Structure 1
Amino acid sequence: MQSKFLAASAGLLAAAALGVTACGGDDSSDSGSKSTGSSGSTAAAGKSLTIYSSVPLQGASRVQTTAVVNGAKLALEQKGGKAGPHTIKYVPLDDSTAQAGNWTPEQESANARKAAQDDSTAVYIGTFNSGAAAVSIPILNEAGIPMISPANTAVGLTTNQPGSNPGEPDKYYPAGTRNYTRIVPKDTIQGAALATVMKEDGCTKVQMANDKEVYGAGLGKNIELAAKAQGLAIISNESIDKNAANYRSLAQKAKAAGADCFVYAGITANNAVQLYKDFSAAIPAAKLYGPDGVAESGFVDPKEGGIPADVQAKVKVSVATLNPDSYPPDGQEFFKAYSQKYGEDQPDPYAIYGYEAMSLALDAIDRSKTGDKADIIKALFSTKDRNSVLGTYSIDENGDTTLTDYGIYSVKDGNLVFDKTVKAQAG
């Protein structure tokens, strides 16, 4: 599938793709993680293990999530279908339905239970949406199954820092131990990135709306806190009804309050396109901002039901994916190999997160020595200074990555076009 996400560097992707065995470096036990898995253990006989992924393969996110799955497939192929002595089977699952056009709690729960009931399960790559993670983490935690998310950013999944809700994150871990990790920065970082860009762009009064989901509500709080720290006025943070016919009254209320900018904390599927159209019409001079929840073709491309051209010109979005040439050499080689494998001149940047999620999973299985779930979890949480296609990072005690970069994108001709990287720090 041809990505509509990014106008990628032509020079980078026009280069001849190198052999896939050279792409991404060595993700084995010397990949930058200092853990050796089970203390004093020797390599066990190889097992047949399964890695599941769960992302919405229908609806507004399908271009990005297809790229996640394809990136994971490429990483496994480069390793010859192995993690150390263990043979790996990859099973991608869809947590969306055609009727919903988005992930559903019922489908995500079914996927998590499928993995939990499979004795061969080694790792669950997921989820794409933070709300879906809130459904599956408790199921997989009780089953002791390691998780790696390529996209979740909600703060409360891992910490009780600002942006979390009462009871988070403990309510997601009924076993009393942690099994969930992620390779994208959490929303304390994204909130700061959005506030930074709005401040730099001259915003003085910002109207915010959120979609009431785990991700949107939490991110809204993070944007508010970051804006306050930077002296940027948020008029109000309004929770929207995703089934509303329009949001004209909210837009008119913001206009009367003197709003010169608008920011949304939520996902495309919750009526984001209508929301932006109404704000653009009510306040024509306003600058419009959004998070990674709308960084997809279903929001930016009119052919996919996205915002029209006159609205596109006013929009900027933040997302942890960067321009291909902003990544280290291994990352750039990944995009070349992906382009060669799947015939896409402009690979969707989310592909690199699917690739790294699978690469980290294989590395942790290898470092675990035994291939047992408990040892894989230990290996994941002992990941330190890992040299990867995303750069060098560690996984902290909460399961969070130490990466902090966010990309800022504008919209042109139905594509998200990279503007710059923001190294935003929370707090």
Structure 2
Amino acid sequence: MRARWACLAALIVIAAAAAGCGSISISGASEATGSQLAIYSSLPLQGPSAQVAQEMVNGERLALADAGGHVGRLRVGFVSLDDADPSTGKLDPGVTAANAKMAAQDSSTIAYLGEYSSVATAVSLPLINAAGILQVSPGSPYVGLTSSLDAGQYEPQRFYPSGRRTFGRLQPGDPAQAAAQAALMRALGMRSVYVVDDQNPFQVPLAELVRRDAERAGIRVAGHDSVPIASGTVFSGEVEKISRTGAQAMFFAGGPGPGSIAFWRALHGAEPQVLLLGSSSMVSEAFTSAIGAAAASTYLTTPALALGQYPRAAARMLEDYRRHFGGDPGPYALYGYEAMSVVLAAIRRAGARGNDRQAVIESFFATRNRASVLGSYSIQPDGETTLSRYGVDRVQNGRPVFDRAIDIG
């Protein structure tokens, strides 16, 4: 656990230095200046997540347009930032920190929408929290952002230097995904599972949560290994270890890179009857198109449902989206739309104090039974959503395709 915490702490220190922050003691006035407010968005607009991120940004823009660009007397502006390195398209902690610093130092900022990945949120959240600004993420499922359950050392406290909670997410977090994985195992008739993680500090807690939930569901956990999943790694030893246990399924918490692809193919080649279960971070066509015959045994959990699984309001919103932006939007457009909408609703409920950052934070955390394009939900005191449906994707023709929804209650 100490190694995990050191890794995460170093990430924030490096990012803060790259952004010129020096420390994270950015303090912001409680009240945004005047009647002009700004909502910032920080998402990866380049690289492998660019399409999803652009759909979210378009959803955010549409929600603000639907509100007429204002809440009562308060005009609301929108600033969209890219948290990816422009030269590589990959997440850049320094760029993320610079985005957060820009928003934190803007006296008109009332809310910050982002980030998509948990790694990026771990960088921006301490900066945005220190400024006393509401942060709403459409993704970022890492458990340590909201809870100490199987999280790293000093988590989640170290993400909140102000000592107050200012962060909420719309996507159900790691505990929900772990519950969905255990429910999926039961639905598939699995009696035993082998758990593997790739040593990523943002994935290790999910593996532990899945192990615990599987045991509670009466599923035997044949083993749990943390394995370095690097390109060029030979996995024969790990595959043999799993094979000897007779496990009916293997759950993997990790990324979708070349090492994961090689591991997937190796295990399926040796034990084709073993079901291969993966986390939402693996829902990527780059992964699913490269795993070959293992696709037939693969099940990936995801917070994204089929569009028909959402309320009628979602269908209307998506039709508006097509008229404004064209294309065929996916479910993440709904997450972007709701991220903006719930913030505007918090400003509206704050009434005469709609330009007061703390009042808007309190209003957001008072969200109860909100009817939205994602479904009805509330925000809990720790910032978690009560949305309780999780999706499962299979692989068809090399692409992740929605298979079923699991209600985790």
Short-chain TM bin: 0.7 to 0.9
What is the match of residue 373 of structure 2? 389
Q: Residue 321 of structure 2 is aligned with which of 312, 318, 338?
A: 338
Q: Residue 192 of structure 2 is aligned with which of 196, 205, 209?
A: 205
Question: Identical aligned pairs, as a percentage?
Answer: 35
2:84, 2:90 within 8 Å by CA — same for their partners in 1? yes
Counterparts of 1:84 and 1:297, CA distance in 2: 43
Counterparts of 2:295 and 2:404, CA distance in 1: 18
Q: Is 1:231 the counterpart of 2:231 in the alignment?
A: no
- 1:349-388 matches, cutoff 5 A: 349-369=331-351, 370-388=354-372
Q: Is 1:420 the counterpart of 2:404 in the alignment?
A: yes
C-alpha change, 1:215 and 1:298, in structure 2 (3 Å) is same
* Moved >4 Å (runs of 4+): 98-101
Q: Deviations over 1:82-106 (max 9, x none)?
A: 2332222222222222565532322
Question: 2:138 is matched by which residue type in structure 1?
Answer: P
Q: Is 1:137 the counterpart of 2:125 in the alignment?
A: yes
Counterparts of 1:142 and 1:115, CA distance in 2: 12
Q: Give 1:242 deviation, angstroms.
A: 4.4
Counterparts of 2:74 and 2:362, CA distance in 1: 17
Q: Residue 183 of structure 2 is aligned with which of 182, 196, 208?
A: 196
What is the match of residue 64 of structure 1? 52
Question: 1:72 is matched by which residue type in structure 2?
Answer: E
1:309, 1:413 within 8 Å by CA — same for their partners in 2? no
- Three-state SS of the structure 2 residue aligned to 1:391 is coil
What is the match of residue 11 of structure 2? none
- 1:47-58 matches, cutoff 5 A: 47-58=35-46
C-alpha change, 1:322 and 1:204, in structure 2 (3 Å) is same
Q: Residue 222 of structure 1 is aligned with which of 188, 206, 209?
A: 209
Q: Residue 170 of structure 1 is aligned with which of 157, 163, 168?
A: 157
Higher RCO, 1 vs 2 (CA within 8 Å, ≥6 residues apart): 1
Question: 2:241 is matched by which residue type in structure 1?
Answer: K
What is the match of residue 245 of structure 2? 257
Unmatched tracts of structure 2, length 5 or more = 1-31
- Three-state SS of the structure 2 residue aligned to 1:189 is helix
Counterparts of 2:33 and 2:94, CA distance in 1: 37
2:307, 2:330 within 8 Å by CA — same for their partners in 1? no
1:53, 1:93 within 8 Å by CA — same for their partners in 2? yes
- Three-state SS of the structure 2 residue aligned to 1:215 is coil
1:63, 1:297 within 8 Å by CA — same for their partners in 2? no
Counterparts of 2:201 and 2:233, CA distance in 1: 22
Q: Give 1:355 deviation, angstroms.
A: 0.9
Question: 2:392 is matched by which residue type in structure 1?
Answer: I
Counterparts of 1:389 and 1:74, CA distance in 2: 13
TM-score, normalised via structure 1 length: 0.82
- 1:73-112 matches, cutoff 5 A: 73-97=61-85, 101-112=89-100
C-alpha change, 1:216 and 1:254, in structure 2 (3 Å) is same
Counterparts of 1:269 and 1:62, CA distance in 2: 17
Q: Deviations over 1:46-101 (max 9, x none)?
A: 72222112222233322222221221122122222223322222222222225655
Question: 2:220 is matched by which residue type in structure 1?
Answer: A
Q: Give 1:377 deviation, angstroms.
A: 0.7
1:260, 1:283 within 8 Å by CA — same for their partners in 2? no
What is the match of residue 102 of structure 2? 114
- Three-state SS of the structure 1 residue aligned to 2:196 is strand
Question: 1:118 is matched by which residue type in structure 2?
Answer: D
Q: Give 1:269 deviation, angstroms.
A: 4.8
Out of 59-68 and 176-185, give the one that drifted further: 59-68
Out of 226-235 and 203-212, give the one that drifted further: 203-212
Q: Residue 273 of structure 1 is aligned with which of 240, 261, 281?
A: 261
Q: Deviations over 1:162-221 (max 9, x none)?
A: x32332111111111111011122211110111111232133332222233343112111
- Three-state SS of the structure 1 residue aligned to 2:250 is strand
1:54, 1:125 within 8 Å by CA — same for their partners in 2? yes
1:248, 1:282 within 8 Å by CA — same for their partners in 2? no
Q: Deviations over 1:15-61 (max 9, x none)?
A: xxxxxxxxxxxxxxxxxxxxxxxxxxxxx997222211222223332
- Three-state SS of the structure 2 residue aligned to 1:92 is strand
C-alpha change, 1:194 and 1:254, in structure 2 (3 Å) is same
Out of 78-87 and 392-401, give the one that drifted further: 78-87
2:56, 2:334 within 8 Å by CA — same for their partners in 1? yes
Q: Deviations over 1:339-359 (max 9, x none)?
A: 3333223x2211111111011
1:160, 1:169 within 8 Å by CA — same for their partners in 2? yes
Question: 1:389 is matched by which residue type in structure 2?
Answer: V
RMSD: 2.2
What is the match of residue 323 of structure 1? 306
1:211, 1:270 within 8 Å by CA — same for their partners in 2? no
C-alpha change, 1:62 and 1:366, in structure 2 (3 Å) is same
Counterparts of 2:126 and 2:368, CA distance in 1: 26
Counterparts of 1:98 and 1:246, CA distance in 2: 29
C-alpha change, 1:100 and 1:179, in structure 2 (3 Å) is same
1:205, 1:234 within 8 Å by CA — same for their partners in 2? yes
C-alpha change, 1:352 and 1:165, in structure 2 (3 Å) is same
C-alpha change, 1:233 and 1:96, in structure 2 (3 Å) is farther
C-alpha change, 1:123 and 1:186, in structure 2 (3 Å) is same
Counterparts of 1:221 and 1:351, CA distance in 2: 31
Counterparts of 1:212 and 1:149, CA distance in 2: 24
Q: Give 1:334 deviation, angstroms.
A: 1.9
